[in-house]
Homo-oligomer: A and B are copies of this chain.
């Protein structure tokens, strides 16, 4: 049995607080401009995995302490890219490498809870990709300097950003960001549609994210969110396939206590109180899509 006591996990680079049904993760490497290291990566993988399994949690917010010089200034490049290569993969060949940013991005993307990135400082590289794109919502400080610098660093857009960003914004804006490596403000026409809200004051970013989180945590169904995210991420290959999928999800939830409470609260003109929980109320039909095992000796791509 996995412990869901966040204080007992031995996190080193993050601070975690559960307030009601909202879990806040604070990146805690201000002295190092919140650079992305293996230690931070391990902490984040663990906390997103736990929060996905923790029925108490409806929303997860990632943010940085507002005094940090950056939300996340990218990978720690002290030892170059080669510090990212895994010894085992090195032996097997280039095809065996698995980008750590991508592993984290997929973990966050697969979360069945609402995820929010509260970008209260500058962000670069993996701070733009894994720490923003796989989230459901992004809030940003208007003064933040944002950059996807990959083509200026001799590498490529990583952490599944070439998949996620074009879907989020369309390829016209994605090109303007990924192929220039330019530094932009959140209010730039290239990137503004990425953000649910842009705040003038840096210290207002987390409270705005927390306000949305609290409201959604209280008034949305944990089950509805999980199935809705599944449908948006895996809609089927045609409108007909989608119809078959959303029909089944409608039937499952419409017949469930959460669906009944949705109707009842509407009729009674009051806020709903949903009780469905992922650990006990998800159909075995979920997930309805195959998940490729990305471990290099399992992959057939």
Stretch from A1-9, A37-45, A98-106 contacting the other chain: A98-106
Number of copies: 3
Q: Which of A230-269 contact B (CB under 8 A)?
A: 231-233, 235-236, 238-263, 266-267
Instruction: Evaluate whether A232 and B175 lie within 8 angstroms (CB atoms) in the complex, with A154-B272, A245-B301, A266-B77 already known.
Output: yes
Which residues of B lie under 8 Å from residue A211 when comparing CB positions?
A: none
Once bound together, how far apart are the Cα atoms of A196 and B179, in whole Å? 12
For residue A68, CB closer than 8 A to chain B, the reply is no
Interface residues in A, total, Cβ within 8 A? 112
Once bound together, how far apart are the Cα atoms of A73 and B164, in whole Å? 33
A102–B156 CB distance below 8 A? no
For residue A170, CB closer than 8 A to chain B, the reply is yes
B156–A250 CB distance below 8 A? yes
A243–B172 CB distance below 8 A? no
Chain A at the B interface: mostly helix, strand, loop or mixed?
helix
0/1 string, A166-182, CB within 8 A of B gives 1: 11111111111011110
Which residues of B lie under 8 Å from residue A245 when comparing CB positions?
A: 301
For residue A150, CB closer than 8 A to chain B, the reply is yes
A180–B94 CB distance below 8 A? no
A137–B169 CB distance below 8 A? no
When C-beta atoms are compared, the residue in chain B nearest to A89 turns out to be B251
For residue A279, CB closer than 8 A to chain B, the reply is no
A153–B248 CB distance below 8 A? no
For residue A205, CB closer than 8 A to chain B, the reply is no
A81–B240 CB distance below 8 A? no
Q: How far is the CB of A205 from chain B (nearest CB, A)?
A: 16
Stretch from A14-22, A28-36, A217-225 contacting the other chain: A217-225
Given A89-B251, A155-B259, A178-B228, 19 more A-B residue pairs with CB atoms under 8 Å apart are: A77-B263, A82-B255, A85-B251, A99-B250, A136-B175, A151-B220, A153-B224, A154-B254, A154-B256, A155-B224, A155-B250, A156-B224, A156-B246, A162-B232, A163-B235, A163-B236, A163-B246, A179-B225, A244-B292
Which A residues fall within an 8 A CB radius of B? Answer: 77, 80-82, 84-85, 89, 94-95, 97-99, 102-103, 105-106, 109, 114, 134, 136-138, 150-164, 166-176, 178-181, 189, 192-194, 196, 212, 216, 219-221, 223-225, 227-229, 231-233, 235-236, 238-263, 266-267, 272, 274, 276, 283, 285, 289, 291-292, 294, 299, 301
A-B contacts, 9 listed (Cβ < 8 Å):
A80-B263, A151-B220, A151-B224, A153-B272, A154-B223, A154-B253, A155-B250, A168-B170, A172-B194
